[in-house]
């Protein structure tokens, strides 16, 4: 039965940025599809824990602006649920400033969370997949700015363009272990990430007018794509970035 291929029953997923927004939606969808979820967040994922329940959810507190926390993330997941089958690199930050004034701090803080930790956490989890045997799934959260330049967000664009790039690199190297590395590029979604944009009436109206679906996306819009890329249904999908954008890229 085709729907069985989408089941995550018996799987353990690590999802970063589990306390809010798209990460919380992915945690909820994975649990509904049958997975145990290890949420990684720098503030307690209290609401997500309430949604999923203690049997299905375990929270590892970690600030992902440094790679030093990576061993504790992997060990925490293994200690609670004994294995890892899926990693979603969802945590991300954005800093808005004119490029002519853009600070080194705004460059480094974004690149560290959005790219450096994504690479080294993927590496650590891939080592775990290889030692467990049986492959695994890595899903990186990319962006429309993996394809486009954006305005006043140079470090975000650099990081998300690179996320799409390393999704292909890692896929090329790890497909032979049965590890699928793919990405999802969300369009303009109503979360904290876009709060500033949505508060700017002019920018908000410009963006909305350009979305063929005629509305901002929501965390629920991403859930089907995330379950697909985490499940056996996508076993022959490698190195691809799937846009979930209400048609934005097609314009």
Q: What is the binding site for ligand NAP (CB under 6 A)?
A: 17, 19-23, 41-43, 63-65, 90-93, 113, 141, 143, 186, 188-189, 191-194
**Given the residues 147, 156, 177, 188, the one annotated as active site:** 156
Q: How far is the CB of 127 from ligand NAP (least distance, A)?
A: 21
Q: Which residue has the tokens 């959005």?
A: 114
Q: How far is the CB of 202 from ligand NAP (least distance, A)?
A: 18
Q: Of the candidates 110, 187, 178, 180, which has an alpha carbon nearest to the alpha carbon of residue 143?
A: 187
* 115 or 179: CB nearest ligand NAP: 115
Cα separation, 87 vs 174, whole angstroms: 14
On whether the CB atoms of residues 185 and 146 are closer than 8 A, the answer is yes
Cα–Cα–Cα angle for 206, 90, 109, nearest 5°? Answer: 80
Residue 156 annotated as catalytic: yes
Q: How far is the CB of 166 from ligand NAP (least distance, A)?
A: 14
* 2 or 20: CB nearest ligand NAP: 20
* 48 or 56: CB nearest ligand NAP: 48
* 23 or 76: CB nearest ligand NAP: 23
Q: Of the candidates 67, 48, 51, which has an alpha carbon nearest to the alpha carbon of residue 59?
A: 48
Burial 62-95 (b: 16+ CB within 10 A, else e): bebbeeebbeebbebbeeebeebbbbbbbbbbbb
Cα separation, 235 vs 241, whole angstroms: 15
Q: How far is the CB of 134 from ligand NAP (least distance, A)?
A: 28
Q: What residues are labeled active site? A: 156
């Amino acid at each position: 039965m085709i729907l069985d291929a989408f089941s995550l029953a018996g799987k353990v997923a690590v999802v970063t940025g589990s306390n809010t927004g798209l990460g919380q939606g992915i945690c909820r969808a994975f649990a509904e599809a049958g997975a145990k979820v290890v949420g990684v967040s720098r503030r307690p994922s209290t609401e997500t824990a309430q949604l999923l329940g203690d049997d299905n959810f375990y929270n590892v507190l970690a600030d992902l602006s440094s790679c030093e926390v990576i061993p504790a993330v992997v060990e925490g997941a293994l200690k609670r649920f004994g294995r890892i089958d899926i990693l979603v690199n969802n945590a991300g930050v954005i800093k808005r400033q004119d490029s002519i004034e853009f600070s080194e701090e705004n460059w480094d803080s974004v690149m560290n969370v959005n790219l450096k930790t994504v690479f080294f956490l993927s590496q650590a989890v891939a080592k775990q997949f290889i030692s467990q045997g049986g492959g695994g799934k890595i899903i990186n959260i990319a962006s429309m700015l993996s394809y486009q330049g954006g305005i006043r967000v140079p470090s975000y664009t650099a990081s998300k363009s690179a996320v799409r790039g390393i999704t292909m690199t890692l896929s090329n190297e790890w497909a032979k272990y049965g590890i699928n590395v793919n990405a999802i590029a969300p369009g303009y979604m109503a979360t904290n990430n876009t709060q500033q944009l949505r508060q700017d009436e002019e920018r908000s109206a410009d963006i909305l007018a350009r979305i063929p679906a005629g509305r901002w996306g929501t965390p629920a819009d991403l859930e089907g794509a995330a379950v697909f890329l985490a499940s056996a249904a996508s076993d022959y999908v490698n190195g691809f970035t799937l846009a979930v954008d209400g048609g934005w890229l097609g314009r």
